[in-house]
Structure 1
Amino acid sequence: MIKKVHYTYPYFGTLILYRYETQKFLRKGAYMNYNDAVSIIDTSLLRSVSELYELESYGIQRIPAHEGGRNVVYTCENEDANTKILRIAFLTDRSREDFLAEVEYIRYLFDHGGSVADVIRSKHGNLLEEISHANQTFYICLFEKARGIRLVENHYQYREGVPINEYFYNCGKTLGKLHQLSKGYAPVHQRYRFFDKFNAEYIDNLIPSTLSLLKEKMLGLLKTLEQLDRSRDSFGMVHFDFNDGNYSIDFDSGQITVYDFDNSCYCWYMFDLASLWTQGMGWTQFEPDADKRKNFMDDYFRTALEGYTSETNIESSMLDKLPLFIQINLIENIVDAFEGFKKSGHELGCDEELAYLIKCLEDEITYLGFFHDIYSHEEPFEYEERKI
């Protein structure tokens, strides 16, 4: 179900909103209800899983899920305050190959110095385990808990006495390191590529015919994207969901540790950089002066890019495509929203936040309208509701 939720994030909330509340890359097949999955896992599987990962001495607590969650997630903590994160996937929207590709990529990043939460092998030496029960396959992974906490858990207060620019720089530096490592990655198992999902057939089937202009604009942007360079320096494995909900910060050192590679895929590195750009908007979203918002964003992204380019190179010709990739981020969020409608079976609707995204694409308003007359600092990223 698509539901309007207000987070206390100084961040462009919509980008997180629909990711947290919908499922991605849906395939044909039946869907297990989250509560049913929890019931099966807690009553029939958790003991076996605990034995697989030798967690018998750990206290295991389930983390409340976001609506539409794709996984059942637990914290596992022992008397030494050693904490692990247990993730059990129950939906049919991903294959064994998808999961293997994800965990192999994470292990590669960790082994080569990427600041990511590592995957832990089971007692059988596997990064991925699977258990079949009640005609359902459950895929199981165990991760180290990232050092530190999320920024929201610290009420968006950065390290005391340290300028916020350190955080902006570190965000770029952390992402740059991951991208540099991806340029040398040779996987055994392949994740999907951007156009495996974002293509004309999928868009045409997903988006209702009443939104013909939206479809036209989306397909036009995808055609533009198809012409871009896909060399090793511009195209590779990306996180595809890089935001402050998916990394923790060590507030003693400022180090950022990234997790949740559930959506990782082959795409242009600029997609993650566009996500990094949008992450900065929350810090100035209530500023009434558009010129001041623009100046802040220029300074913010310049600092983040200094961190990024300290780890990897990016061509200026690709950086010039930032407005395009912000629009591609928009497409990804709109697709997420309509996938949620499709899965839930609920009547299509378009609240103020989804209407805002659609308006930006239909009217070709760049930079998420942040410097445009459409934007209201009193009601950020909202537009009048519309029927579909």
Structure 2
Amino acid sequence: MTYNEVVQIAEAYLLQLVSELYGLEGYETRPVKAHSGGRNIVYNCEKEGTDTKILRIAFLNDRSREELLGEVEYIRYLFEHGGSVSNVVSSKKGDLLEEITHNNHTFFVCLFEKARGKKLVENNYRYREGVPLTEYYYNCGKVLGKLHQLSKEYMPVHRRYSFFDKYNAEYIDKLIPGSLSLLKEKLVELLKTLEGMDRNHESFGMIHFDYNDGNYMIDFDTGQITVYDFDNSCFGLYMYDLADLWRSGVGWIAAEPDPGKRRKFMDDYFKTVLQGYRSETRIEDSMLEKLPLFIQVTLMEQIADEFECMRNNGEETESDKELSYCIKCLENDIPYMGFFHGIYSCEEPFEYDERSI
């Protein structure tokens, strides 16, 4: 079932049922623009005098009811224990997840409170007037640290899958084309390294797995960050989310031609992030030393996501310069996304084209 087909079913049938399930009579429901490869259709639900809600309808069959319950129960746990996240709204029956079957196809429905504030991109990447950006870096780390600290005490009723349930040698072999044999080899080596790492209480637990400025709002009056979109959350090594946060910082200095200045900025940026993070939870220096490894893992996730989208949508991305860049970094063991390496160009950030070499 395609995205457009689901939209038609939603407009004709699902939205009315959802309105009854959640008491949304009188709300104006407007679709949110989907991103490529999305597994949900999403709507803003607005009504004068009430807080805006976010409606999510999952239509792909790649997540079980158990896994989806694991996601929303985790979000509710984080919210109830002081995590800065968008809360899940219970249906009129008191359920966090509703299931609707139509023409033998099952749709899973969730409703969320909309996070206060705006995305950075909606504010043209300007932070709070008169406040240094270092406050934002610190807050990004602090909010993530709080989520990880809460995860260390989390005892799930419905358990989410583990990173290693999905990312393994068999998955890589099926997903990556045979023409990219070196990439396959490097990815399997990377996974073997991860599998050999200690997964103790302080290093392994529920993670967001997509922690970046596209998945949180900022209250520009206070600087408070509110996180949402736990669709990819899973059990994994906490260091992965920190590596994602490192990646989020490169945009602030991506146009700088001097690699030495880029490195100095990133060192200072991540130092501030870690100050915020460590104000809420512990992390061993031995784990932080593995940052380059986990940045490679974030590239693996990006590559896998691209090939999944190609497989699901029947698309070819042979000319995708960003994908080619990620592949080159992994095939050639170039650390830090090549950000301090000759492969990087500030004129075409994180893009690679063999024809230009």
- SS of the equivalent of 1:261 reads coil
Q: Of the candidates 218, 222, 230, which is equivalent to residue 191 of structure 2?
A: 222
The answer (yes or no) to whether the contact 1:351–1:385 under 8 Å persists in 2 is no
- SS of the equivalent of 2:100 reads strand
CA shift digits 1:80-129 (9 cap, x unpaired): 14211111111111111111000000000000000000000000000000
| Closer, same or farther: CA 145–347 of 1 in aligned 2, 3 Å | closer
Instruction: Provide the C-alpha distance between the structure 2 equivalents of 1:256 and 1:349, rounded to a whole number of angstroms.
Output: 37
Structure 1 position 62, deviation (Å):
1.3
Q: Of the candidates 261, 275, 278, which is equivalent to residue 306 of structure 1?
A: 275
Instruction: Provide the C-alpha distance between the structure 2 equivalents of 1:359 and 1:33, rounded to a whole number of angstroms.
Output: 32
Instruction: Provide the C-alpha distance between the structure 2 equivalents of 1:224 and 1:322, rounded to a whole number of angstroms.
Output: 13
Paired AA for residue 79 in structure 1? E
- Select between 220-229 and 307-316 the one with higher mean Cα deviation: 220-229
CA shift digits 1:147-199 (9 cap, x unpaired): 10101000000000000000000000000000000000000001110111110
Instruction: Provide the C-alpha distance between the structure 2 equivalents of 1:382 and 1:250, rounded to a whole number of angstroms.
Output: 33
Aligned to 2:222: 253
Aligned to 1:132: 101
Q: Of the candidates 52, 59, 77, which is equivalent to residue 28 of structure 2?
A: 59
Matched, 1:363 2:324: no
CA shift digits 1:223-248 (9 cap, x unpaired): 11111110010000000000000000
Q: Sequence identity of aligned pairs in percent? A: 67
Structure 1 position 67, deviation (Å):
2.7
Paired AA for residue 89 in structure 2? I
Aligned to 2:205: 236
**TM superposition outliers: structure 1 runs of 4+ over 4 Å:** none
Instruction: Provide the C-alpha distance between the structure 2 equivalents of 1:110 and 1:320, rounded to a whole number of angstroms.
Output: 31
Aligned to 1:73: 42
TM-score where L is the length of structure 1: 0.90
After TM superposition, list the pairs within 5 Å mapping 1:253-332 onto structure 2.
253-332=222-301
The answer (yes or no) to whether the contact 1:147–1:257 under 8 Å persists in 2 is yes
- Select between 224-233 and 73-82 the one with higher mean Cα deviation: 73-82
- Select between 131-140 and 348-357 the one with higher mean Cα deviation: 348-357
Unaligned runs of 5+ in 2: none
The answer (yes or no) to whether the contact 1:350–1:385 under 8 Å persists in 2 is no
Instruction: Provide the C-alpha distance between the structure 2 equivalents of 1:263 and 1:346, rounded to a whole number of angstroms.
Output: 22
Paired AA for residue 142 in structure 1? L
Structure 1 position 281, deviation (Å):
0.3
Matched, 1:185 2:154: yes
Q: Of the candidates 19, 39, 46, which is equivalent to residue 50 of structure 1?
A: 19
CA shift digits 1:211-268 (9 cap, x unpaired): 1111111111111111111001000000000000000000010000000000000100
Paired AA for residue 63 in structure 2? R
After TM superposition, list the pairs within 5 Å mapping 1:137-156 onto structure 2.
137-156=106-125
Unaligned runs of 5+ in 1: 1-31
Of structures 1 and 2, the one with the larger relative CO (CA 8 A, separation 6+) is 1
Matched, 1:86 2:69: no
Structure 1 position 209, deviation (Å):
1.1
